[in-house]
A = this chain, B = another copy of it.
């Protein structure tokens, strides 16, 4: 290689690197199982932070992804085999230091799915697993993924105050006590049964499936499902303690 050519090459390469930070998409997929909130992590197979656990994200594929959502859904399908019913952009983190390789930008999403929807697929692979919020505290994560999950967790908490978005982490049909328990875990406080039911009835976002379920002794609970059309992200009214700060 001649010196001149190398010079040109480096200039060219540097210019490219100058204009374009690395761009990745990192979905934070939550589910609810065994009375715990869990997040999907994968074990990195490549540099940097090889072998460490992190979010199931990756680079935008300019050839096949038409949008950033496509990238998020593609990465989630690769790991879970299915498309989650809820996906919403969380925040974009970008700075010079979060990735050793270069200035790096990651567009993050919050996603929710029923545990049973992908439990089978995940059980077949060794490099992906559900990690509970409790386990998460002990597990060092790649890059700034721990911080990102913290943000997603906090956003989900806000959703629990004002919406029934968390219901997407439950199966298609679920009971109100199940949903209330999930909200209580997200909010870290007990909720009044009556207030909770009242808010959800008023919002008219759920419909009676006609079925009931009795887990073990006690009156059977009505199974509800999301009403088609009107999104579960519709605002509910205030819940006690809602007078806090935004994300």
User: Which of the candidate stretches A16-24, A118-126, A129-137 sits at the interface with the other chain?
Assistant: A16-24
* Copies of this chain in its oligomeric complex: 2
A5 near B13 with CB under 8 A, answer no
The interface residues of chain B lying within 8 Å CB-to-CB of A89 are 91-92
Q: How far is the CB of A5 from chain B (nearest CB, A)?
A: 4
| Chain A 19-55 per-residue mask, 1 if CB under 8 angstroms from chain B, else 0 | 1111100000000000000000000000000000000
Q: Taking CB as reference atom, which chain B residue is nearest A244?
A: B235
A interface with B by C-beta (< 8 Å): 1-2, 5-6, 9, 12-13, 16-23, 59-60, 62-63, 65-68, 89, 91-97, 102-103, 105, 107, 162-163, 231, 233-238, 242-246
CB < 8 Å neighbour of A246 from B16, B65, B235:
B235
A245 to B63, CA, bound (A): 34
Give the one of A89, A102, A103, A237 with max B CB within 10 A: A103
